[in-house]
Chains A and B, each alone.
Chain A
Amino acid sequence: MHIVVCVKQVPDTKIIKINPKTNTLDRRSAPAILNPYDAHAVQAAVKIREETGGMISVLSMGPPQAVAIIKKSIEIGADRGYLISDRAFAGADTLATSYALSKALQKIANEEPIDLVICGKHAIDGDTGQVGPGIARRLDIPPITNVIEVSEVNKAEKTVLIKRKQISGYELIQTQLPCLLTVEKEINSILYSPLPNMLRAARYEPVIWAVSDLGEVDKTQLGLKGSPTIVGKMFTPPKLEGGKKLEGSSDEQVSQLMDILMERKDLLKLKETSTAN
């Protein structure tokens, strides 16, 4: 089995700050991390490899600093890392991102055919979840999104069983390999990295490719040029008005609230069951 996991470096949106004057992201305020869903994707690949043997490659598109998250993926258990990094990729939306990543995947597949591609459900900065299915379309393999369990990876039959989360409940899907999965957090919990992995990660240097290394690439489909969507404007969410504040002691506030609730017969009724008959 050759599994490739697509991993992205993202600012930690939990602690991100927005410059209120310019409405732009203060990048220095947020440390760059491995997209949490992608960490689960690497972990899922490690589990599959335990059962089937084989190799895990990770692939990222980003600035040179993204080497850090490839190292992080090696810590979790990936064998190899590839980074595609070039000015020409800058400003890519999901369409241009899936194009660039699919070109790199084709190159990786030329070295070693790919059986499975795994992505995170979404990246916490862009928050779209569109790149995974986009890559699958470009490679013409089935995409299965919102995956919460992978089982029965059958190398001989080239099939795999998948639990896919749905609006309520889940569905059990059988699909052919190669395919592309996007994984939910529920799929596993991130384990502590074994020491040998940490040591290997510290020394690891990924393969870095520029556009010119990717073979035949249509440059008009890359980066800002290849992106049909643009950000028109940024604004802080509209402020809401707010209603009435109740005054007085806590007893008074509670009784006012009771009056308000009891008046809203359209929302809440007191059914007088005991007086029945």
Chain B
Amino acid sequence: MMEEYRGVWVFIEENDGAIEGVSLELLGAGRKLAEKLEVPLSGILLGHEVTKLAKEVISYGADKVYVIDNPVLKDYRTESYMKGVIKLAETYKPEIFLYGATPNGKDLASAVATDLSTGLTADTTMLDVDIDKRLLEASRPAFGGNIMATILCKKHRPQMATVRPKVMKALEPDSNRQGSIIEETLNLKEEDMRTKVLKIVKELTKKTNLAEAHVIVCGGKGLGDIHGFQLIHEFADTIGASVGGTRDVVEAGWLPHEFQVGQTGETVTPKIYFAIGISGAIQHVVGMKNSELIIAINKDPGAPIFEVATYGIVGDALEILPKLIQQFKEMKTEKGGEISYA
């Protein structure tokens, strides 16, 4: 029975005609699993007028793309999407099925797991596979991130997991990659739908800026008080960076909650991340550790933030920040230039 299930699947989330970043990251992670298990990697693409995206799915690592293109699937709804996904899963029987841990990905995966009576691991941050037993090892933070737990689903297929955005790495797209596109149909009628999406409102707030920012200056309780925290704003302004804060900073009211970086805030992956007056608690670190260059300033040489920092400065932020601001300002006037980020 379980042997019938073969192959690794990734649910491809589409919004406004574009594929969500997390789906591309999952194709990268799924590729590795599929190669270890010596099975194809497939993308599952549902929506309206989405067939054109199938090539892109292949270029990011898929061998096959299953597509259901239907006007009723224009906007995400649990009831229509789960029907499509369940139909595909029951027909083609994957052994592993991954979804992005986005609002829609989590919603869909939870519903599908219930109907397929199978296990679902939430918010995974590490993926591996036991090749002999063909078991997915999905690890995730547990008990508020204090510890990691590896979740297994031994007796049910498919083995499903939602995976946090920005922890896996997408492959470089290769437009020469070959793959097959399999189009399926689904009998859906708008009249049968119990939910209607009346309106979609995009709010391009600071929050999305943080997720996309190239440079982030993030401050912690070490700035002392809300006045000390002004130095963070000033430094960020000087170098054209976005501001972030730890949960403690947000709880103290120094910064609105959409600026929080970490497990219960935003996961960020900027080119440069300044961690200033931040202890480096695990719940904070999971949200920023994949940044390319991490610079930490903390007066306690034993602070765990130094374990993730590429460069660490042991010292008083209140003394160092003004100097750093000064240096950048001088450099800008000297060279008369603007700082830009590659």
Chain A residues within CB distance 8 Å of chain B: 11, 13-14, 16-18, 23, 25, 93-95, 98, 124-130, 132-134, 136-138, 142-146, 161, 164-176, 179, 227-237, 239-246, 250-251, 253-255, 257-258, 260-261, 264-275
Contact = CB atoms under 8 A, between A and B. Distances in A.
A234 B148 CA distance: 6
Contacts of B313: 245-246, 253, 257
A242 B111 contact: no
B312 A243 contact: yes
Contacts of A11: 143
A229 B151 contact: yes
B271 A142 contact: no
B202 A169 contact: yes
Contacts of B319: 250
Contacts of A138: 114
Contact of A134 (B110, B143, B207): B110
B149 A231 contact: yes
Given A16-B146, A246-B313, A228 B200 contact: no
Contacts of A254: 320, 323-324, 327
Interface stretch (B25-33, B41-49, B100-108, B221-229): B100-108
B110, B152, B215: which has the most chain A beta carbons within 10 Å?
A: B110
B187 to A, nearest CB: 18
A112 to B, nearest CB: 22
Interface in B32-84: 75, 78-79, 82
A18 B200 contact: no
B120 A268 contact: no
Interface of B: 15, 20, 75, 78-79, 82, 102-104, 106-107, 109-111, 113-115, 117-123, 137, 141-144, 146-156, 194-205, 207-208, 215, 271-272, 282, 285-286, 289, 292-295, 301, 306-316, 319-320, 323-324, 327, 331, 335-342
B335 A272 contact: yes
Contacts of A127: 122-123, 141-142, 144
Nearest to B125: A237
A138, A143, A265: which has the most chain B beta carbons within 10 Å?
A: A143
A268 B147 contact: no
A176 B153 contact: no
Tell me whether chain A's interface is mostly helix, strand or loop, or mixed: mixed
B289 A142 contact: no
Tell me whether chain B's interface is mostly helix, strand or loop, or mixed: mixed
Nearest to A260: B311
B142, B152, B155: which has the most chain A beta carbons within 10 Å?
A: B142
A139 to B, nearest CB: 11
Contacts of B204: 168-169
B120 A94 contact: yes
A235 B148 contact: yes
Contacts of B207: 168
A272 B151 contact: no
Nearest to B336: A274
Contact of B195 (A166, A176, A239, A244): A176
A264 B293 contact: yes
B140 to A, nearest CB: 8
A220 to B, nearest CB: 11
A128 B342 contact: no
24 contacts: A17-B146, A128-B122, A129-B110, A132-B110, A133-B114, A167-B103, A168-B204, A171-B201, A175-B195, A227-B119, A228-B117, A229-B151, A234-B147, A236-B148, A237-B141, A245-B312, A246-B313, A254-B323, A255-B327, A258-B324, A260-B311, A270-B331, A270-B338, A272-B336
A255 B270 CA distance: 23
A130 B113 contact: yes
A240 B203 contact: no
A246 B301 CA distance: 11
Contacts of A126: 122
B103 A244 contact: no
Contacts of A266: 342
A179 B340 CA distance: 50
Nearest to B137: A232
Contacts of A244: 310-312
Nearest to A136: B111
Contact of A229 (B102, B119, B341): B119
B147 A18 contact: yes
A250 B341 contact: no
A95 B114 contact: yes
A129 B122 contact: yes
A135 to B, nearest CB: 9
A223 to B, nearest CB: 15
Given A168-B208, A266-B342, A16 B306 contact: no
Nearest to A228: B119
B123 A271 contact: no
Given A142-B194, A169-B203, A230-B152, A242 B306 contact: yes
B78 A229 contact: no
B338 to A, nearest CB: 5
Contacts of A242: 306-309, 312
A166 B13 CA distance: 13
Nearest to B108: A133
Q: Shortest 5 CB-CB distances between A and B: which pairs? A: A13-B144, A274-B336, A228-B119, A133-B110, A128-B122
Contacts of A232: 137, 149-152
B179 to A, nearest CB: 27
A143 B79 CA distance: 8
B131 to A, nearest CB: 15
